A and B are shown apart, each in its own frame.
Chain A
Amino acid sequence: MIGVICLDDNRGMLFHHRRQSRDQAVFRDMLAMVGKEKIYMNAYSGKIFSFYSHEIVIREDFLSCAPWGSYCFVENLPLSPYLEKLEALVIYYWNRVYPADTYLDIDLSQGWEETDIKELGGTSHENITRKIFKRKIR
């Protein structure tokens, strides 16, 4: 599966069980990136996608059941238990600092390589950076 997450400058994901930020530009870019593929997520994330007419699979156990090659938007779950399933990771960097108490639990310096970078202007963020990391070939 391909994990899709958002991070602040300190690798933060959540504060007090809530997302740190959001931006419509990220959602639009995400949908454009996946094309006709489904996106898997839980109900927490599904709420903010309710305005988009894209095929979203909402399941609380989506990380367990998502098939190989599928996109999984992850906001409030740890990724490390699914490390072996992760083929790639798409990270949207907010390029800002937010309060955080939950952080990305994967060390990208170990076994991952950055394969793509893209800058996009946000609706509430001046600049968002999208990076794609893939597993290093051993």
Chain B
Amino acid sequence: MRTLHERYLSAKSGKRAFLFSLILALALLVSACGKATLMNENPPSEAELSREEPSGEEQSEAEPFGAELSEEESERVLSVEEIVNSFEGDASVEIPVYTGDAYTVMNDNTPYFTRSNLPTSSFEYYSYLDELGRCGVACANIGQDIMPTEERGNIGQIKPSGWQTIKYDLVDGKYLYNRCHLIGYQLSAENANEKNLITGTRYFNVQGMLPFENMVADYVKETGNHVLYRVMPVFDGENLVAHGVLIEGWSVEDAGESICFNVFVHNVQPGIVIDYANGNSHLEESRPSHEEAAEKPEPAVEEPEPVTKEPEPAGTDYILNTNTKKFHDPACRSVKQMEEKNKELYTGNREDVIAMGYAPCKNCNP
């Protein structure tokens, strides 16, 4: 695999558009239109950046994009655009290949964005979609004031680039693809925003992105502090499905003492081969022909929402903990510990309970 630097050079020499590199994605970011919403500042702004693409001369081949600050400037708080476009790191790093872990640590877990002169007020930034309808960088300074106060609504009306509705038995919940928030709903309460939703596998969403969102959300809720959080989808060429996302996080008020990470989350699903050009997929072993695959798709249905569905008339009894999202055998001892308000009887099959977003209890393993 070529390095980021090599990919950046090839981008300059010819092909426009979207190469599989962090550097180029950030370069595009500079030229992209975006939406920035500053919280707690007057007035809230929706800023459109220039669409002019930077010339080759304007950008150093290997230098980071973050501009050095003068002594005078070092005292001022950086703007949203400066933060979003900043890059301080090794340009020769390669996009990692999936080797079995949902995410790969990048840059020794140090974010590429600038980590000084950051604001202590919340903001959100979402890039406009490109001409292929793909998301760009999303960035937010996560604070309690932008976190959700109500349950997430339906997002089924959004069709991110490369979206397909396809089911596999081996996928948790069966649906291969989820509409994946770049900035998770629990962080910024951004619901059906097409600039914040990409096509991602269930594994990518749950095993890859969610743990980081959880970690950031807990910290912000517990401390009232902010976490600068940047998510960059990485597309190869004109692919419609991202190979993954780079997620960077940094706790602002304590200068990264509590939250500091930089990871590439792989948009893969173990056991399934994905064509990132268009979202087509097939089982790793069977490899059906394109025609066969075309005959098999399930009828189009929306992504299953994490809400209850009507119990089936027959099946196995399970006790759902609507609070922890675990399900139990009715005889499980945890059921006795459960608060009544969180307890719900479900009769049906196990797969459907899992599809509803519940995980089996590790004690009774229902």
Contacts and interface: CB of A to CB of B under 8 A. Distances in A.
A9 B321 CA distance: 16
A98 B323 contact: no
Given A15-B261, A23-B222, A99 B103 contact: yes
Of A9, A21, A23, A118, most buried by chain B (CB within 10 Å of CB) is A21
B338 A119 contact: yes
A122 to B, nearest CB: 9
A123 B224 CA distance: 12
Interface stretch (A58-66, A68-76, A78-86, A124-132): A124-132
Contacts of B324: 95, 126-127
A121 to B, nearest CB: 8
A43 interface: no
B222 A98 contact: no
A96 interface: yes
A102 interface: no
Contacts of A98: 211, 214-215
B339 interface: yes
A16 B247 CA distance: 14
Interface in A1-53: 9, 15-16, 18-24
A21 B103 CA distance: 19
A24 B222 CA distance: 7
B79 to A, nearest CB: 28
Given A16-B260, A119-B337, A99 B211 contact: yes
Given A15-B215, A99-B263, A119-B337, 6 more contacts: A21-B219, A95-B326, A97-B207, A99-B212, A119-B334, A123-B221
5 contacts: A9-B362, A24-B222, A97-B214, A126-B324, A127-B342
Contacts of B210: 97
B326 A18 contact: no
B259 interface: yes
Contacts of B337: 117-119
A23 B215 CA distance: 12
Contacts of A18: 257-260
A117 B211 contact: no
A99 B261 contact: yes
A118 B222 CA distance: 22
A9 B214 CA distance: 12
Given A21-B215, A97-B214, A98-B211, A16 B334 contact: no
Nearest to A25: B222
B40 interface: no
Interface of B: 103, 105, 109, 207, 210-212, 214-215, 217-219, 221-222, 257-261, 263, 321, 323-324, 326, 333-334, 337-339, 342, 359, 362
A12 to B, nearest CB: 9
A91 B102 CA distance: 26
Contacts of A119: 334, 337-339
Contacts of B334: 117, 119, 129
Contacts of B105: 16
B214 A96 contact: yes
A16 B214 contact: no
A16 B323 contact: no
Contact of A97 (B211, B222, B260): B211
A125 B218 contact: yes
Those 7 A-B pairs whose CB atoms lie nearest each other, nearest first: A124-B221, A127-B324, A21-B218, A16-B109, A126-B323, A119-B337, A124-B218
B334 to A, nearest CB: 7
Nearest to A18: B258
A23 B218 contact: yes
Contact of A124 (B222, B261, B326): B222
Contacts of A21: 214-215, 218-219
B333 A117 contact: yes
Interface string A106-127: 0000000000011101011111
B218 A16 contact: no
Nearest to B247: A99
Contacts of B338: 119
A100 B259 CA distance: 13
A41 B151 CA distance: 38
Contacts of B339: 119, 121
Contacts of A23: 218, 222
Given A95-B326, A99-B103, A119-B337, A20 B215 contact: yes
Contacts of B261: 15-16, 99
A127 B361 CA distance: 13
A22 B259 CA distance: 12
B218 to A, nearest CB: 4
A22 B260 contact: no
